[in-house]
Amino acid sequence: MASSKIVIAFDGHSSCGKSTVAKQLAKELGYIYIDTGAMYRSVTLFAIRNGLAGDGKVDEQGLIKRLDEIKIEFRNNPVTGENETYLNGENVEDEIRQLPVANHVSPVATIREVRKAMVKLQQEMGKNKGIVMDGRDIGTVVFPNAELKIYMTARPEVRAQRRYDELIGKGNQVDFDDILKNVLERDRIDSSREVSPLKQADDALLLDNSDITREEQLNWVLEIVKERLG
């Protein structure tokens, strides 16, 4: 379908399914998919493993000094066909999704030097276009000239319910109100931080998927991509 390749940026709130639609779209178009949250999570894992983060605290200066020891890349898993995250040559795809990383990633993602290094890497990854990238600052900072920007959200209660169903489905015992509180708190942190806060770029299209199915969402995005590609 794509004659000339473009950059597609997905930004938005946490737990609204950005990665699901971004991944599906990349597959449909034969584009590369990059999960930038996984990059901030990998830096956080490095910090934890090296005693630079723990008990909810992060040693900012210590981490900044060691940033050039961190090598992050994505490699395709030939069995699943999905990209997996590697930190200094080790597959960390599962570990970066665990609680210790989740609990420390927000403060790590606010460090200016960390963001500078990640943005540079992301721009390098997208320099040949043909890329779908998801995060919080892709359309505003990483690729301000992206040919297509989508800003995703859903009502907090809907996002909390999806997260609740997912965790219950995995056999976890969780409380809906705790999850809702966590969703609202993450929104607050992402949108109010000083460096690269989450906000809708002026030229981004809004996708609120509270009341639509995944299929409807994908079709909506594909229609827009077709238009943009002419």
C-beta of 1 vs 127, nearer to ligand DC: 127
106 binds ligand DC (CB under 6 A): yes
What would the two tokens of residue 138 be?
A: 């892709």
User: What whole-number distance in Å separates Cα of residue 149 and Cα of residue 133?
Assistant: 10
Residue span binding ligand DC (CB under 6 A) among the ranges 60-68, 102-110, 176-184, 208-216: 102-110
Q: Does 7 bind ligand DC (CB under 6 A)?
A: no
Assess 93 for contact with ligand DC (CB under 6 A). Answer: no
Closest to 42 measured CA to CA, from 145, 110, 113, 114: 114
H-helix or E-strand spanning residue 75? strand 72-76
Closer by beta carbon to ligand DC, 40 or else 164 = 40
Instruction: Answer yes or no whether residue 200 interacts with ligand DC by CB under 6 A.
Output: no
The angle that helices 112-125 and 36-49 make with each other, rounded to 10 degrees, is 130
CB of 149 to ligand DC, least distance (A): 13
Q: Select the residue interacting with ligand DC from 31, 40, 46, 151 (CB under 6 A).
A: 40
Q: Are strands 148-153 and 7-12 parallel, antiparallel or unpaired?
A: parallel
Give yes or no for residue 43 binding ligand DC (CB under 6 A): no
Helices 156-169 and 176-192, interaxial angle, to 10°? Answer: 130
Query: In terms of Cα–Cα distance, which of 125, 124, 152 is closest to 139?
Result: 152
**Distance separating alpha carbons of residues 57 and 78, to the nearest angstrom:** 37
Closer to ligand DC by CB, 178 or 223: give it. 178
Q: Which is nearer to ligand DC, 14 or 20 (CB)?
A: 14
Amino acid at 223: E
Q: Which is nearer to ligand DC, 30 or 54 (CB)?
A: 54
Which residues here bind ligand DC, judged by CB under 6 A? 14, 36-37, 40-41, 105-106, 109, 135-137, 190
